[in-house]
Each structure stands twice: as C-alpha cells, then as structure tokens.
C-alpha cells in the first residue's frame, strides 16, 4: 500500500439544480409521489462544489435550463478524453433536450464535439480508465454506442453488461480509484452483483486487486463516487466501503447528496470531468 497517495488536480463541469424535480420515473429510484426539497438540493450541491474547490479542483458551471429537471446530472451529458467530447443521445425522450445546452457549452469552450448516432449517456455508462474505457450497457447506452466511442477516441472499449435495474448506469455500480496509464491499469471499486457473470469475469481479470463493495454500500450510492487518486468523495452512508478505502491509504471525503437519490443520482452523476490530456 502506498504510504501517501498523490491526488491529481481535476477539472469538473457541473450544473446548478435550480430546476431539479422528479417529474417522471425512468429508473427504480424515481417516484413522482416523493417531492424534492429544492432548497436542500441546492445546499447539498453547493457543498459538493465547495468541497471540490477546497481540495484544489477546478469547477465550471453550465447554466440550468427551465423544464430540464435532470440537467443537474452533468455526468450524463458527455465523456471527454484528450480534450475531445463525445456527447449524449439519451434513452428517455424526457432527457434528450439536455444534450443541446451541454454541447453548446463545450463548443463555446473550444472543444470538438461529436453527437452520437446511437443511444449513449455520457459518463453515466462510459468510464475512462487509463488505457481503456469501461462501458456499461443493458439499460441505457447501447453496444452500438460502445463501437462508436472506440472509433471516435481510438481507445479500446471494454463492454460490461448491467443486470440490476437499481444500477442502471455503470457509474452507479463502479468507479475508478486510479486511472493508471499504458503501463499501469490503475484500480477500481465495484459491486459484483450489478454485472452479468461474464462481465464479472472480465472485471476480475482486468482488476484482480479491485475493491469489492456490498449491495448495502452500492444502494447507498457509495459507488457513485469521485476519486482524485487520494481523496474519494463519497456518500456518508457508505461506511463499510469508506472504511475499506481508508485502510488502503485513500482519504474518504463524505459529501451528502441524499436529495438527489430521489432521482437515482449522487456525487458522480452530478460531476462531469474534462480530461485535457491522457492520464
């Protein structure tokens, strides 16, 4: 175990939850009978932004658009590798308009943006992991999108099948602890029960030292976390996972985003990362 893990400064993109609400149900977490406390959501979101900045990370904000209640989940808008942006084509018709303001923001910032031909939900299902991109399918993003991503970035894409509807996006079942490089595959944390048997075998081969989470920690959104290589921004309720990470030399940083759980989201869902250069 490294005596002192070194954090890497990140650039994040977020969107204020000014219009956050549960107006439809497109995953098992969502119910229109559970009202959202918008003031609490705003406070929790601001705490996340403040925490990122306090740890040395850059945070950019995309203005929210009325009528797009899930726009706060910025991770779903795109995946960015080496300064190139692969946008989103959402599975649910209700969310498809979200891609427009995010793509416009990236273009204004000077990025090349590719709009996908296949259903694809950004970093919700596409997780850059150094030498490859881990890619989820089964509920949202299609395998055709995986092929499209590989052609666009020229980076190997590892397809993984999700089988539990509570973990409808890859970023609810897995997160990268260290991205690694061509010589080092890095490491991840994940919940095995979210994946098909074959996908579990793939993860076991690629990451023999992965941190395995329990269903309890996964249901607490413990795997919807963000790591900078040292600090892990994690849901406070995922105590067992946080303890395991601390034992491995990581520094858990609890951030409560429980109001967003009502829509099936957490810390990572609210956080898009811009990777200017390859790790």
Q: Are strands 79-81 and 132-137 parallel, antiparallel or unpaired?
A: unpaired
Which DSSP state fits 195? B
Out of 57, 169, 231, 261, the active site residue is: 169
Within 8 A by CB and 6+ apart from 116, the residues are 86, 87, 88, 89, 145, 148
Out of 77, 120, 269, 270, the active site residue is: 269
Provide the β-strand partners of residue 188.
176
3-class DSSP state of 107: helix
Residue 15 known to be catalytic? no
What is the phi/psi pair of residue 55, to 5°?
-100, 15
Asked if 121 contacts 86 with a C-beta cutoff of 8 angstroms, the reply is no
Within 8 A by CB and 6+ apart from 197, the residues are none
Residue 231 known to be catalytic? no
What amino acid positions are annotated as catalytic residues?
169, 269
């Amino acid at each position: 175990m490294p005596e002192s893990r070194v954090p890497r400064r990140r650039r994040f993109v977020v969107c204020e939850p000014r219009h956050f609400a549960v107006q439809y149900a497109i995953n098992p977490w969502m119910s229109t009978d559970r009202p959202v406390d918008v003031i609490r959501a705003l406070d929790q979101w601001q705490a996340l932004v403040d925490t990122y900045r306090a740890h040395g990370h850059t945070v950019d904000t995309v203005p929210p658009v009325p009528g797009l209640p899930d726009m706060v989940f910025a991770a779903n808008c795109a995946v960015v590798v080496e300064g190139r942006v692969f946008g989103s084509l959402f599975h649910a018709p209700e969310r498809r308009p979200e891609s427009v303001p995010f793509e416009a923001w990236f273009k204004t910032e000077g990025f090349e943006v590719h709009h996908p031909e296949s259903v694809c939900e950004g970093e919700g299902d596409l997780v850059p992991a150094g030498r490859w991109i881990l890619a989820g399918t089964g509920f949202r993003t299609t395998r055709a999108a995986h092929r499209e991503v590989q052609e666009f970035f020229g980076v190997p894409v590892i397809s993984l099948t999700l089988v539990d509807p509570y973990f409808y996006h890859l970023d609810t079942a897995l997160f990268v602890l260290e991205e690694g490089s061509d010589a080092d595959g890095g490491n991840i944390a994940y919940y095995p029960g979210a994946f098909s048997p074959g996908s579990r075998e793939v993860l076991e081969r690629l990451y023999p030292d992965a941190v395995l989470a329990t269903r309890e920690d996964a249901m607490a959104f413990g795997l919807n976390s963000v790591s900078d290589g040292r600090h892990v921004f994690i849901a406070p309720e995922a105590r067992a996972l946080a303890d395991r990470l601390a034992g491995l030399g990581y520094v858990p940083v609890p951030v409560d985003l429980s109001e967003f759980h009502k829509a099936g989201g957490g810390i990572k869902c609210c956080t898009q990362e811009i990777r200017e250069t390859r790790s």
